[in-house]
Every structure is written in structure tokens, then in C-alpha cells.
């Protein structure tokens, strides 16, 4: 009974802290702007099955792709076991889900095998971070904390897998020692019982209890650490994929506020018509964290800093300052900073800083070729170019600021309908004196 | 073999005679003004005339789609251009647009609909691919036999619009040898000119993007670098010049290669 009370208290604490964290994030999301209506649920479900559950974009890098996919699929299987542990803990029973019969065997067997596979994959990941120089893990945005964050998360996952194997091994050993049936099949752990062979049934039971508690408490701790770490992607990736922009990568979102203005300009009849509603003048483009859409912010929270985007960015490859990953990390950091102020002091809060300039420089923004390699590469469909263009929109339309050559392009388009300074009269010069040979 | 002069049909002329062409051939600013891309516009017009396609160009009534402005953040200028172009398309009852520039293609196909401009937008690579599969283009296989060709995917056909296979099918029909760069299709590296970069100096870095990309192309040992975008063409040709390889390796647009293979 005591253990049930302790367990319930731990569970309440876990959900309490998690609830508080969620509430804070919900309030930050309330600061963001609308993006697009979430329609086409069928399409979204199939996208989620393919990209999230099927990990399709991870395989663009085959080796790490399969490693990650195994970890992810392992998590899903092991999750069932974790749910069972919560039921067991609350009601003081053992292996409550054994009522599932044959299916239980399958779940336990795959969980047991996957705990070993995940442990190996995590060791590979740790090895890559500790002993191999992987270029995409470096960059100006990758501070000490980012690296520490990654290693801590990997360390915890490794411990989770080891405690799970320990738990299964002592369970098998204990049931065998007392001649009781073993519920579930444990293809890996049954071979590890040699490690605990000398122990009495009581000692085995204690061993089992120790691993059980270590495993479940570590899960509770990890679940509450994640939202404050880059590994928040464990929670946010699947929703981020489900809420993907469904447009082709080449399409930029239309600014309807501009359409209204341009139509007014082009049609003199409506120039004196009353303005619909009494809307406050809207800012064009993105200057700060609260100008972004909920999707931009979700992207930034789902980013796990893997750096695949930056590794394929033509600007980053050729040594320019732009790094798509940094754009996402900056947005997340700036929202943490400004959002706190906005929630505390209201919408007039200002700390005389902004996402653009204090975090992301104009030089970074103007280096983008809008080639969409970053968005194509992102395993969870983060879209960086739309946010980059939104910041350019602020610079150009609110400040009239752009590289001189681009200002000249704007002038040319306005004056002679082409980015170059040529006369409209010369548009058909290419078609003069054309000949074809006919046999 | 005889040579015939062709006159590129202009929309206003056809309309004044009461004719409505099936296709608008959108030449684009590069096709109209860029000396190298003018040849591509000419090659494609020759193919259209050769096949007696019912088409016209806008000529002096054509104006920038607004793409460079839009991607440089000038949404206001883009929408002004777009709404004016949509008015012109409306006046000429345009329903089908063929483009030879991926940037024009993308903006018509994906972005004009938000402003009420909805058309059947056809990239010239898809158009050529359809003609070939319908057997309407009699390509002389001798012209490019044993010529290795590599294809540089433009971002705005490839990643932006998922057009990877049709340009390759067109090139395969030339019976040349197609070799892929190690970064190709959705993995292809940008030439460095999109998003307004065509018109400005690159930001400070260790290398120009077009040099990085031309090195990919040179590694294939291809004798022809095929492109399907005016900006990519400028960058790849510059790359060849930078590497002093422009004598032995040629950069052609897909439309030019087809025109050559047709012997027109």
C-alpha cells in the first residue's frame, strides 16, 4: 500500500509539473499569429503515417536514419510497457496487461528486443558525439549547452534501456527461481539471467523492484525535462508533422493585408470606401517573436538541432553566415525571453530587443536563396524559408531596407516591368529573324 | 532542307484578327532580355512553330511576374505586378500558360491562384516530355549519340514543384548518356541565384555557390551540362568560365538540345 501511495504521489507530481509546463506553452502560443486553417485531415493522417511513424525523411541519410527509426519504433513499443507499469504502480499489481494473452507476449518480446537495439543505437549516437567529428553538430549556434543537452538526453535514454533490461532479467530469474510462470517472452533478458544467478529469490525480488522504480521514476523525470530541452521534439515532432504546411515547397503564403491595399490602389472607385472594421494597423512581416505564426513557433519547438537543414544549405556550405537551424533556435530562445515579458507585463512590454537584428542579422537573411533544401531535408517538415522571407518582408516594407542591388531591381520592376533596366520596347528582340529548317 | 522564316505570333495581333490561341507562351524577363536566354526563348519558339502549336506571346505587354520582388520581401510590388498581369490574362482569356522559367512557373502555378489568377500552368519540360511520349517529336538519335549529359535540377522545378523525371525523360530521348551528379533531384544543390541572389553580390563566405555546384558537374565528366532555368544557366556558364572549361564543356538548355536534335 505504501508503495502505491508513493507511486501515486510521484505520478501526480509528474502530471502537475507537466500540466504547468503545458499551460505556459499554451500561453506562449496565444501570442502568435494565425497561419493556415487545419484542413485535409485524411491527407494529414497519411502524411503523419509516412513521415512521422514511417520516418521516411530520416532515411535521406540512410545510416543515422535507420538508427533513429529503430530508436523511435522502439519507443513506441516500449511505451506500452510503460503504460502497464503505471497501471501496476497505481493498483499494486504485477504485469496487469498479461490479460492480453498472446499479444502480450508479442509486446513484451518486441519491447525486450528493442531495449537492446535502442541501447546500441544510443551508444552509436553517443560515440558520434564524443569521438567522431560530425560537421553538422557544429556551428555558431551550437553552444556548450546544446551539446550538453544532447548528451544528457542520450545518457538518460541509455539508462532507461538498461533499467528495462535489468527489470526484465530479474523478473525472469525470479519467476524461474520460485517456479512461477513467466508472463511475456523475453528473448534478450532470458539470456542475461546468468548475471544474477547467485541471488536468492528475495534478493531477485529486490533487484526487480529497484530496476522497476528506477525505470519509471526516470521516465517521469525525463518527461518533465524534455519540454525544457531540445529533446522536446520527442513530444512535438509528431504534431509538427501532422500540422505540416501542405502547400508545395515553392509556394509562399499570400499577405492578404497587402492584397487589400493593392486593390484599393488599383481601383480608384474604392479609394474612398470605408475601411472594413476598425483593425489596428498590422505590422508587415516579422520583426520579433510575437509576429510569427503558431506554425513557425511550433517548428522552433519541434527542432532537435540535428543540423540536416544547415548541412544542405548552399549559403551555409559556402561559408556564409546563414544557418537555417540557427533561425529556429533563435526563434525559440527569443520567444522564451520575450514571451516571459509579454505574459508578465502585457502586450506593451519591450526590452528594446528583437528577433531580427538582436538574434538574426540582416546578413543571414539576405544570404538565403529560397532553394528549399532545408525544408526538404528536415525530417519533421519544419519550414525555414517562409520565416526568412517574412523577416525580409519586415525589412523591405516597414523599413525600406534591402541590399542596394535589390532596391534597383524593385525600381526596375516598377518602372519597366523587368528586374533589369531595359525598355519594354525591346521585349521581342529575341524573336527577330527566326528561321527553322524544314526537310 | 530548306529554311523558313518564322514569325512569333503576338497575342494582341491574333486578338485583333479575332483569333484565340490555345497557349500563352510566357517568355519571362530573362528570355526577353538576357542575351544567353534569348537563344533559349528562340529555340523553344522554333519548336512550337515547327510543331504548329497554336500559341502566342504577349510581347510588349509582358511584365515581370513579381517573383524577384516577392522573394526579396517586397510583397507590395509583387502583388501589384501580379494583379496587373492577371488583368492582362483576363483580357486575352488566357487559360493555358507555358513557361520556360521555373520561377515564373512556380509563381503562376502556386501563388497567382491566391490572387484569383487560376490557369493551367505548364512547364516547358513537361510540355516537351508529353510531345515526346505522344511521338510528335522526331528526334534524330545520331546528334547526341555518345555525348554524356548531366542535368542540373533547378530548385523551382525540383524541390519546389516535384518535377524531377520529365526533364530526365526528355534528355534520355536524345539517346545521349545521362550521368547524375552526386547531389541530384531533391538533393540537388542550388546554383546560388534564387531568392533574389541573381541580382546581387553574395554575402561574405569562403566560396561562391555556383563554384561549389559546377564542381559537382565537372566531377561527372559530362560534356554537356543541361539546365532548365535562366538563372541556373547564368551560374553554370559562369562556373565553366571560372574553371576555364567553357571550350570543352557546354551548357545548354533542354529546349536548345531538343531543337538541335530536331535539326531545326
Q: What is the CATH number of the domain that holds A299?
A: 1.10.1060
Q: Do A315 and B60 touch (CB under 8 A)?
A: no
Q: What single-letter DSSP state applies at residue A356?
A: I
Kindly give, in sequence order, each residue whose CB lies less than 8 Å from that of residue A439, ignoring residues fewer than 6 positions away.
B1, B2, B263
Q: Do A403 and B64 touch (CB under 8 A)?
A: no
The set of cell numbers assigned to B104 is 515564373
Residues A265, A237 within the same domain:
no
Residues A296, A237 within the same domain:
no
Question: Residue A275: what pLDDT?
Answer: 58
Question: A392 CB near a chain B CB, below 8 Å?
Answer: yes
Characterize the bridge pairing of strands B148-151 and B224-227: parallel
Q: Do B111 and A261 touch (CB under 8 A)?
A: no
Question: A30 CB near a chain B CB, below 8 Å?
Answer: no
Question: A402 CB near a chain B CB, below 8 Å?
Answer: yes
Q: Is A170 left (phi over 0), alpha (psi -120 to 50) or beta?
A: alpha
Measured between beta carbons, which residues in chain A are less than 8 angstroms from residue B71? 252, 370, 389, 392
Residues A292, A217 within the same domain:
no
Q: Which of A383, A411, A406 is nearest to A395 (CA)?
A: A406
Q: Do A369 and B161 touch (CB under 8 A)?
A: no
- Cα separations in angstroms, B263 against A1, A78, A270, A436, B228: 91, 65, 55, 9, 20
Residues A174, A306 within the same domain:
no
Q: Among A194, A210, A242, give the residue marking a domain's end.
A: A242
Q: Is the dihedral of CA A119, A120, A122, A123 positive or negative?
A: positive
Contact criterion met (CB below 8 Å) for A244 and A381: yes
The set of cell numbers assigned to B83 is 494583379
Kindly give, in sequence order, each residue whose CB lies less than 8 Å from that of residue A213, ignoring residues fewer than 6 positions away.
none
Which residue matches cell numbers 517456479?
Answer: A179
Percent of all residues in chain B with a pLDDT value above 70, rounded to a whole number: 100
Q: What is the dihedral of CA B46, B47, B52, B56, to 10 degrees?
A: -60
Which residue matches cell numbers 560515440?
Answer: A127
How many Å apart are CA B262 and CA A178, to the nearest integer?
Answer: 86
Q: Nearest by CB to A437, from B1, B162, B192: name it.
A: B1
Question: A33 CB near a chain B CB, below 8 Å?
Answer: no
Residues A276, A209 within the same domain:
no
Q: Is the dihedral of CA B91, B95, B101, B102 positive or negative?
A: positive
Q: How many CB atoms lie within 10 A of CB A275?
A: 8
The minimum CA-CA distance between B6 and chain A, rounded to whole Å, is: 6
Q: Do A373 and B189 touch (CB under 8 A)?
A: yes
Structural domain including A268 reads: 256-421
Instruction: Count chain A–chain B contacts defined by CB atoms under 8 A.
Output: 254
- Cα separations in angstroms, A168 against A108, A163, A219, B116, B263: 9, 9, 16, 63, 75
Q: Among A217, A242, A267, give the residue marking a domain's end.
A: A242
User: Rounded mean pLDDT of B20-32?
Assistant: 98
The set of cell numbers assigned to B116 is 484569383
Residues B192-250 pLDDT 10s = 999 999 999 999 999 999 999 999 999 999 999 999 999 999 999 999 999 999 999 99
Q: How many residues does chain A have?
A: 439
Kindly give, in sequence order, each residue whose CB lies less than 8 Å from that of residue B147, ignoring residues fewer than 6 positions away.
B174, B176, B177, B223, B224
Question: Residue A197: what pLDDT?
Answer: 86
State which H helix or E strand residue B96 sits in.
strand B96-99
Q: Do B155 and A370 touch (CB under 8 A)?
A: yes
Residues A73-126 pLDDT 10s = 999 999 999 999 999 999 999 999 999 989 999 999 999 999 999 999 999 999
Q: How many residues does chain B have?
A: 264
Q: Which of A51, A74, A79 is nearest to A302 (CA)?
A: A51
Q: Do A409 and B159 touch (CB under 8 A)?
A: no
Question: A261 CB near a chain B CB, below 8 Å?
Answer: yes
Contact criterion met (CB below 8 Å) for A322 and A392: no
Lowest average pLDDT, out of A287-291, A311-315, B143-147, B149-153, goes to: B143-147
Q: Do B8 and A431 touch (CB under 8 A)?
A: yes
Residues A235, A268 within the same domain:
no
In a domain, A438, yes or no: no
| Number of independent structural domains in chain A | 2
How many Å apart are CA A74 and CA A212, to the nearest integer?
Answer: 18
Question: Residue B175: what pLDDT?
Answer: 77
Q: Is the dihedral of CA B27, B30, B34, B35 positive or negative?
A: negative
CA end-to-end span of chain B: 10
Question: Residue B138: what pLDDT?
Answer: 85
Which residue matches cell numbers 509516412?
Answer: A50
In a domain, A247, yes or no: no
Q: How many CB atoms lie within 10 A of CB A109?
A: 16
Q: Nearest by CB to B60, from A247, A395, A425: name it.
A: A425
Measured between beta carbons, which residues in chain A are less than 8 angstroms from residue B213? 314
Q: Among A219, A242, A265, give the residue marking a domain's end.
A: A242
Residues A132, A11 within the same domain:
yes
How many Å apart are CA B113 and CA B107, to the nearest integer?
Answer: 9
In a domain, A342, yes or no: yes
Measured between beta carbons, which residues in chain B are less than 8 angstroms from residue A312? 187, 189
Q: Nearest by CB to B186, from A376, A425, A436: name it.
A: A376
How many Å apart are CA A72 and CA A92, to the nearest integer?
Answer: 30
In a domain, A427, yes or no: no
Q: Do B68 and A321 touch (CB under 8 A)?
A: no
What pLDDT band is residue B141 in, cutting at 50, 70 and 90?
Answer: confident
Residues A133, A276 within the same domain:
no
User: Rounded mean pLDDT of B93-110?
Assistant: 98
- Cα separations in angstroms, A226 against A17, A46, A244, B62, B78: 12, 27, 22, 55, 42
Count of helices and strands (H, E) across chain A: 17, 1
In a domain, A41, yes or no: no
Q: Nearest by CB to B50, from A60, A373, A436: name it.
A: A436
CA end-to-end span of chain A: 97
Question: A399 CB near a chain B CB, below 8 Å?
Answer: no
Residues A119, A263 within the same domain:
no
Which residues on adjacent β-strands are paired with residue B179?
B150
Q: How many CB atoms lie within 10 A of CB A295?
A: 23
How many Å apart are CA A144 and CA A149, to the nearest integer?
Answer: 8
Q: Do A428 and B32 touch (CB under 8 A)?
A: yes
How many Å apart are CA A147 and CA A126, to the nearest integer?
Answer: 11
What pLDDT band is residue A272 in, cutting at 50, 70 and 90?
Answer: low
Q: What single-letter DSSP state applies at residue A227?
A: G
The set of cell numbers assigned to A192 is 542475461
Question: Residue A167: what pLDDT?
Answer: 96
Q: Do B76 and A252 touch (CB under 8 A)?
A: no
Domains of chain B: 11-128 (3.40.50), 139-262 (3.40.50)
Q: Nearest by CB to A427, from B50, B62, B156: name it.
A: B62
Residues A318, A193 within the same domain:
no
Q: Do A430 and B110 touch (CB under 8 A)?
A: no
Residue in chain A lying closest to B108 (CA): A251
How many Å apart are CA A403 and CA B204, to the nearest integer?
Answer: 13
Q: Nearest by CB to B63, from A315, A417, A438: name it.
A: A417
- Is residue A12 packed enough to be buried (19+ CB in 10 Å), middle (13-18) or exposed (0-12)? exposed
Q: Nearest by CB to A368, from B161, B195, B204: name it.
A: B195
Measured between beta carbons, which residues in chain B are less than 8 angstroms from residue A252? 70-71, 111
Question: Residue A225: what pLDDT?
Answer: 95
Q: Do A372 and B155 touch (CB under 8 A)?
A: yes
B209-245: b or e for each residue (b if 16 or more CB lie within 10 Å)?
bbebbbebbbebebbbbbbbbbbbbbbbbbbbeeeee
Q: Do B111 and A252 touch (CB under 8 A)?
A: yes
What pLDDT band is residue A22 in, cutting at 50, 70 and 90?
Answer: very high
Q: Do B60 and A397 touch (CB under 8 A)?
A: no
Which of A262, A361, A367 best tests the B interface by mutation, with the highest count of B CBs <10 A? A262
How many Å apart are CA A346 and CA A273, to the nearest integer?
Answer: 34
User: Rounded mean pLDDT of A366-377?
Assistant: 98
Question: Quick check: helix, strand or coil at residue A244?
Answer: coil
In a domain, A250, yes or no: no
How many Å apart are CA B1 and CA A436, to the nearest integer?
Answer: 10
Residues A7-19 pLDDT 10s = 999 999 999 999 9
Q: Do A413 and B68 touch (CB under 8 A)?
A: yes
Question: Residue A1: what pLDDT?
Answer: 80
Question: A247 CB near a chain B CB, below 8 Å?
Answer: yes
User: Rounded mean pLDDT of B96-108?
Assistant: 98
The set of cell numbers assigned to B64 is 515581370
Which residue matches cell numbers 513467466?
Answer: A182
In a domain, A40, yes or no: no
Q: Do A250 and B202 touch (CB under 8 A)?
A: no
Longest dimension (CA), chain A: 99
Q: Do A248 and B161 touch (CB under 8 A)?
A: yes
Q: Do B79 and A420 touch (CB under 8 A)?
A: no
H runs (alpha helix) in A243-378: 256-266, 294-302, 308-312, 314-317, 324-345, 362-366, 373-377
Instruction: Select, from the ranges A137-141, A327-331, B173-177, the one with the highest average predicted confidence (pLDDT).
Output: A327-331
Residues A263, A408 within the same domain:
yes
How many Å apart are CA B26 and CA B135, to the nearest integer?
Answer: 24
Residues A268, A304 within the same domain:
yes
Measured between beta carbons, which residues in chain A are less than 8 angstroms from residue B42? 430-431, 434
- Is residue A74 packed enough to be buried (19+ CB in 10 Å), middle (13-18) or exposed (0-12)? buried
Q: How many CB atoms lie within 10 A of CB A328?
A: 27
Measured between beta carbons, which residues in chain B are less than 8 angstroms from residue A320? 202-205
Kindly give, in sequence order, each residue whose CB lies less than 8 Å from that of residue A246, ignoring residues fewer than 6 positions away.
A40, A43, A44, A47
- Cα separations in angstroms, B73 against A295, A407, B15, B70, B255: 20, 11, 36, 5, 32
Question: A418 CB near a chain B CB, below 8 Å?
Answer: yes
Question: Residue B2: what pLDDT?
Answer: 83
In a domain, A248, yes or no: no
What pLDDT band is residue A420 in, cutting at 50, 70 and 90?
Answer: very high
Amino acid at each position: 500500500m505504501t508503495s502505491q501511495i508513493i507511486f501515486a504521489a510521484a505520478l501526480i507530481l509528474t502530471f502537475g509539473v507537466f500540466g504547468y509546463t503545458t499551460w505556459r506553452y499554451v500561453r506562449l502560443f496565444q501570442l502568435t499569429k494565425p497561419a493556415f486553417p487545419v484542413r485535409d485531415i485524411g491527407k494529414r493522417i497519411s502524411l503523419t503515417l509516412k513521415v512521422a511513424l514511417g520516418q521516411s525523411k530520416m532515411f535521406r541519410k540512410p545510416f543515422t536514419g535507420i538508427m533513429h527509426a529503430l530508436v523511435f519504433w522502439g519507443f513506441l513499443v516500449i511505451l506500452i510497457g510503460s503504460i502497464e507499469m503505471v497501471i501496476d504502480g497505481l493498483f499494486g499489481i504485477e504485469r496487469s496487461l498479461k490479460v492480453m494473452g498472446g499479444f502480450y507476449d508479442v509486446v513484451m518480446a518486441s519491447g525486450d528486443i528493442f531495449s537492446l537495439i535502442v541501447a546500441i543505437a544510443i551508444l552509436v549516437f553517443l560515440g558520434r558525439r564524443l569521438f567522431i567529428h560530425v560537421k553538422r553538430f557544429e556551428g555558431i549556434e551550437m553552444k556548450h549547452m546544446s551539446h550538453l543537452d544532447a548528451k544528457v538526453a542520450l545518457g538518460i535514454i541509455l539508462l532507461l534501456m538498461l533499467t528495462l533490461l535489468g527489470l526484465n532479467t530479474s523478473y525472469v530469474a525470479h519467476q524461474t527461481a520460485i517456479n512461477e510462470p513467466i508472463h511475456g517472452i523475453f528473448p534478450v533478458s532470458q539470456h542475461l539471467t546468468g548475471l544474477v544467478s547467485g541471488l536468492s529469490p528475495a534478493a531477485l525480488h529486490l533487484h526487480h523492484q529497484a530496476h522497476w522504480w528506477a525505470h519509471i521514476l526516470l521516465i517521469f523525470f525525463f518527461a518533465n525535462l524534455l519540454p525544457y530541452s531540445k529533446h522536446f521534439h520527442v513530444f512535438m515532432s509528431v504534431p509538427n508533422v501532422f500540422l505540416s504546411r501542405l502547400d508545395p515547397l515553392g509556394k509562399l503564403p499570400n499577405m492578404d493585408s497587402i492584397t487589400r491595399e493593392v486593390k484599393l490602389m488599383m481601383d480608384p472607385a474604392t479609394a474612398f470606401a470605408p475601411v472594413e472594421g476598425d483593425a489596428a494597423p498590422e505590422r508587415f512581416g516579422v520583426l520579433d517573436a510575437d509576429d510569427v505564426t503558431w506554425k513557425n513557433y511550433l517548428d522552433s519547438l519541434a527542432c532537435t538541432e540535428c543540423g540536416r537543414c544547415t548541412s544542405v544549405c548552399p549559403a551555409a556550405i559556402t561559408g556564409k553566415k546563414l544557418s537555417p537551424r540557427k533561425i529556429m533556435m533563435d526563434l525559440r530562445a527569443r520567444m522564451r525571453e520575450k514571451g516571459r515579458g509579454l505574459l508578465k507585463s502585457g502586450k506593451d512590454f519591450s526590452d528594446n530587443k528583437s528577433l531580427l537584428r538582436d538574434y538574426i542579422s540582416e546578413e543571414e537573411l539576405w544570404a538565403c536563396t529560397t532553394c528549399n533544401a532545408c525544408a526538404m531535408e528536415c525530417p519533421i517538415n519544419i519550414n525555414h524559408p517562409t520565416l526568412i522571407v517574412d523577416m525580409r518582408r519586415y525589412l523591405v516594407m516597414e523599413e525600406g531596407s534591402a541590399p542596394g542591388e535589390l532596391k534597383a531591381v524593385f525600381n526596375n520592376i516598377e518602372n519597366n516591368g523587368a528586374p533589369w533596366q531595359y525598355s519594354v520596347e525591346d521585349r521581342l528582340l529575341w524573336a527577330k529573324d527566326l528561321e527553322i529548317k524544314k526537310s | 532542307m530548306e529554311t523558313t522564316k518564322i514569325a512569333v505570333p503576338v497575342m494582341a495581333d491574333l486578338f485583333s484578327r479575332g483569333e484565340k490561341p490555345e497557349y500563352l507562351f510566357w517568355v519571362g524577363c530573362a528570355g526577353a532580355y538576357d542575351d544567353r536566354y534569348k537563344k533559349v526563348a528562340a529555340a523553344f519558339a522554333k519548336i512550337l512553330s515547327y510543331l504548329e502549336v497554336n500559341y502566342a506571346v504577349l510581347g510588349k505587354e509582358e511584365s515581370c511576374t513579381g517573383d524577384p520582388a516577392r522573394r526579396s520581401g517586397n510583397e507590395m510590388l509583387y502583388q501589384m505586378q501580379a494583379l496587373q498581369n492577371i488583368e492582362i490574362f483576363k483580357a486575352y482569356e488566357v487559360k493555358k500558360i507555358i513557361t520556360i522559367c521555373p520561377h515564373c512557373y512556380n509563381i503562376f502555378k502556386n501563388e497567382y491562384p491566391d490572387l484569383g489568377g487560376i490557369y493551367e500552368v505548364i512547364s516547358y519540360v513537361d510540355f516537351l516530355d508529353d510531345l515526346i511520349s505522344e511521338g510528335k517529336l522526331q528526334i534524330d538519335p545520331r546528334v547526341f549519340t555518345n555525348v554524356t549529359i548531366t542535368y542540373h535540377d533547378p530548385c523551382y522545378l525540383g524541390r519546389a514543384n516535384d518535377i524531377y523525371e520529365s526533364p530526365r525523360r526528355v534528355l534520355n530521348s536524345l539517346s545521349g548518356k545521362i550521368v547524375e551528379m552526386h547531389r541530384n533531384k531533391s538533393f540537388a544543390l542550388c546554383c546560388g541565384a534564387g531568392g533574389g541572389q541573381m541580382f546581387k553580390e553574395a554575402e561574405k563566405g569562403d566560396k561562391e555557390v555556383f563554384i561549389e555546384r559546377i564542381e559537382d558537374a565537372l566531377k561527372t565528366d559530362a560534356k554537356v551540362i543541361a539546365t532548365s532555368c535562366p538563372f541556373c544557366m547564368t551560374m553554370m556558364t559562369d562556373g565553366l568560365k571560372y574553371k576555364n572549361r567553357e571550350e570543352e564543356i557546354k551548357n545548354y538548355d533542354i529546349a536548345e538540345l531538343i531543337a538541335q536534335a530536331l535539326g531545326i
